[in-house]
A and B are shown apart, each in its own frame.
Chain A
Amino acid sequence: MKVDIGPVTRLEGHLSIETTIENNVITEAISKGEMFRGFEAFLKGRDPLDAQQITQRICGVCPYAHAIASSYAQENAYNLKVPPNGRILHNLIQGANHLYDYLLQFYQLAALDFIDVTAILGYKGNDTDLTTLRNWVKAEVSSDTSFPAAPFLPRLSGKYISDPDINVGALKHYIEALEIQKKANKASAIFGGKFPHATAIFPGGCTQNPSIDHIASYRSLITDVKDFIHKKYIPDLLAVAGGFPEYWEIGQSKGGFLSYGLLPFGPELDSKRLFAPGVLLNDKITPVDFDAIHEDVKYSNYSSPSGLKVRDGELTPSIHKKGAYSWVKAPRYQGEMIEVGPTARIMVDYLQNNNPKIRQLVDKFAGMAGIQAGNLNSVLGRHLCRAISAVVIADFLLEETERIDVKGPYMAEYNLPKSGEGFGATEASRGALLHYIKVENYKIEKYECVVPTTWNCSPKDDKDQPGALESALIGTTVENPKEQIEANRIVHSFDPCLGCAVH
């Protein structure tokens, strides 16, 4: 039987998944991106410096990643010499944005798949947040209002955590996380100008000067976020993992992994990064080659040619194309299906022995959970890799503030060219993000983006290989085929952003 579990909520944008179920097992999954805007079309002919502003509007959840990728691409296209402070400020902005996003993803987007909200009704303590929440839920469910206690109810049927203390604790942290994510965003906004959609990020640096005043505020905010990560986020994640150990096996994607690397240590874009770049295919890591990427459109709503390389990308919508089921294109690396995101980022770094802290954390948590490194490719693995990323990034950001030269320049000197081209590659919180710009006669001639969820939620490619999420869903046992909370957990572990995927 066929069941569409869309629209899938608690993710960014418009995603439906059409599943085929036989004997309570998903035998086929069709991932459908249902919204299209066409950024690459309307960027053409614009002023090149509009790009890091306009591309942020691809995604309001991770706008800073787009600003950074666009800035990198433009730095390459303009041959900018970036001052050390300029890169540090980029890092401070982007890193803080990752921290907010991990907290939002775990608590607001994913936790309600595991945590039993109704446990609040039995709360007997005297915490103000929790008693307020309890009284509100009580009043709601005893009223005659339609859909009481929304947006927390109704919910999908299935097994939730039974321990009332874990549930109530996680609900308290759900509320606290909403406060803490604001601190991470305040920190990034100090140098970004505002969040979402920063105006102060430019190719070559940032317009806000790194004064002691600004650095002190930034450090204070990030220290609070770091504290929450260690004391609340990681224990809550481990508690969820303890209640659902089968999810170390469930939701495994069946292809390779790609990471562009994140947070360069020096002003040059090819300097060593906190997270190393690389492609993991057939147990072998190789350096990333942008020309090995092409985008198929056999099952996408475009009539433009299939299999084009990034710099040759085209975009002609075709809404009634036979067989097409998604606005998302299908990027492939050397023809292979790829997962990007936290698991890719951590595995690619771990296997290259790049960052000792990552190795140490992976080994520590794997030991605690009794899993192998291979289990990082799973629902819980993706959540754990986000948490490990959070720990490593928070420490790095505090160290990075100490490298600022408060008297040094923080913006590159511009000598803007008539023409040029460049790639910009970084890691958004959701994974590998690539921008490409080509400038002709002071205008954008071509702009292309290959975005994390383009990889993860891609439809099948020209060889009929499923996308990463599709492959992770196939084989999953679902108790209630009509609702499929199990499939929802898998989808959420990828943290899809459909605004990004299609753009």
Chain B
Amino acid sequence: MINRREFLKMAACLSASFGISNFPEIVHAALKKIDPATIPKLIYLQGQSCTGCSISLLQAETPNAVSMITEYSKLSFHADLSATSGKQALDLIETYISGQAGEYFLAVEGTIPWGMPEACVIGGKPFAEYIDEAAKTMTGAIAIGTCATHGGIPAAEGNLTDAISLKEFYKRKKINPLLISIPGCPVHPDWVWKTIIDLVQVGVPELIEGQPKSFFSRKVHELCPRYHDFQQEIFAKKLGEKGCLFKLGCLGPDTHADCPTRWWNGGQTWCIDANAPCIGCASSQFASKKDFSFYRLFEQARIKTLENSK
């Protein structure tokens, strides 16, 4: 009998080579009934983060956040929700990370300040030490949000702390854990919770570059309901106009995410439906370069002034 951790590791290898649909039927069946004793325990730690991903996870609809942290997973620690605090909280975290509390998944939101470990500290100890030690005991890790998956805003050009993603941290430490990366600034709650449901009911989902294929295989532009406007060259020229937003700077053509079909906030809306250009928040390059602005309006103003002065 293999334990859950061995199973998930095997599943990760298998899914990488075959895709999860090729699993024998018996494996699916064996895992469909949820045994409360085997649902993953999450130790959710925040590095250099804004808590936006945590807040986004509370916006989940089906299932909602309460179901997610009682039926499908156990939220053993989260700094925003846990009743425990102070030394009692540190003891809880240490018990897990030292391997004395059984199996668990590490969930990480935010970057790691590689060049300045003192720039992120939990209870006097650098955040980097927690995730370094956890790598020895955890079943796997889930990087939540673009900071944790690619660096995102804290790692933007000109940052002072050499902020890096969880993947980059483990790469530099030469550690190779099971790591599922779920980008987005913030993440869509479904992207995280439904990955966890996959973990509970099937196993590690099929990943592309570490990201669940089911959410990140297509570009926003390909799925965009305004793709027709793009083909017909109906472009918005000013903010607030309808039509394809490409000429305002929309990064849908560069961003892999299913926002156009999933929508946000329980299906209420999403950026492009609100005539707001996609800023590529789920992209590996999000906000990384100073000269790669979200919008083209200042550039247009500069060019116009140059032309007028000729």
Q: Which residues of A come within 8 Å of B, CB atoms?
A: 4-14, 16, 34-38, 41-42, 44-50, 53-54, 57-61, 63, 104, 108-109, 112, 117, 136, 139, 143, 145-147, 150-156, 175, 178-179, 181-182, 185-186, 189-200, 202, 205-209, 217, 301, 315, 317, 319, 327, 409-411, 413-418, 442, 482-484, 488, 499
Contacts and interface: CB of A to CB of B under 8 A. Distances in A.
B206 to A, nearest CB: 26
Contact of B51 (A12, A34, A112, A418): A12
Nearest to A416: B301
A50 B85 contact: no
Nearest to B87: A482
A156 B96 CA distance: 19
A481 B305 CA distance: 65
Interface centre among A47, A155, A206 (most CB of B within 10 A): A47
B66 interface: yes
Interface string B184-226: 0110000000000000000000000000000000000000000
Contact of B83 (A57, A112, A136, A182): A112
Contacts of B86: 4-9, 156, 483-484, 488
Contact of A416 (B50, B55, B268, B297): B297
Contact of B160 (A38, A45, A205): A38
A50 to B, nearest CB: 5
Interface in B24-65: 36-37, 46-56, 58-59, 61, 64-65
A57 B185 contact: yes
A411 B301 contact: no
Interface string B278-289: 110100000100
A151 B50 contact: no
Contact of A13 (B46, B53, B66): B46
B265 A185 contact: yes
Contacts of B123: 4, 6-7, 16
Given A6-B123, A197-B52, A442-B302, A38 B161 contact: yes
A151 B156 CA distance: 33
Given A182-B59, A202-B239, A207-B239, A499 B120 contact: no
Interface of B: 36-37, 46-56, 58-59, 61, 64-66, 69-70, 74-90, 92, 95-96, 100-102, 113, 116, 118-124, 152-154, 156-161, 163, 185-186, 238-240, 264-266, 268-271, 273-279, 281, 287, 290, 293-295, 297-299, 301-302, 305
A193 B185 CA distance: 13
A112 B78 CA distance: 14
A81 to B, nearest CB: 15
7 contacts: A35-B47, A136-B70, A151-B82, A151-B83, A151-B84, A190-B274, A196-B55
Interface centre among A37, A54, A217, A499 (most CB of B within 10 A): A37
A326 B294 CA distance: 33
Contacts of A10: 79-83, 85
A6 B259 CA distance: 38
A150 B76 contact: yes
Nearest to A191: B274
Given A6-B86, A57-B52, A410-B240, A317 B119 contact: yes
A194 B264 contact: yes
Given A175-B66, A483-B87, 13 more contacts: A45-B290, A49-B295, A49-B298, A61-B50, A178-B65, A189-B269, A190-B269, A192-B274, A193-B269, A194-B265, A317-B116, A317-B160, A411-B239
Contacts of A207: 239-240, 274-276
A194 B281 CA distance: 12
A60 B78 contact: no
Nearest to A6: B123
Contacts of B74: 145, 150
Contacts of A9: 79-80, 82-86, 89
Contacts of A418: 301-302, 305
Contacts of B154: 37
A146 B52 contact: no
B137 to A, nearest CB: 13
Contacts of A146: 76, 95-96, 100-102
A117 B83 contact: yes
A353 B122 CA distance: 44
B83 A154 contact: yes
Given A60-B51, A199-B276, A202-B239, A14 B121 contact: yes
Nearest to A12: B51
B60 to A, nearest CB: 9
- In order of increasing CB-CB distance, the 8 nearest A-B pairs are A60-B52, A47-B293, A199-B276, A193-B274, A146-B101, A411-B240, A155-B83, A200-B276
A311 B238 CA distance: 31
Given A152-B83, A209-B275, A34 B293 contact: no
Nearest to B113: A36
B271 A194 contact: yes
Contacts of B58: 104, 178, 181-182
A154 B88 contact: yes
A303 B83 CA distance: 37
A156 B84 contact: yes
A36 B279 contact: no
A13 B78 contact: no
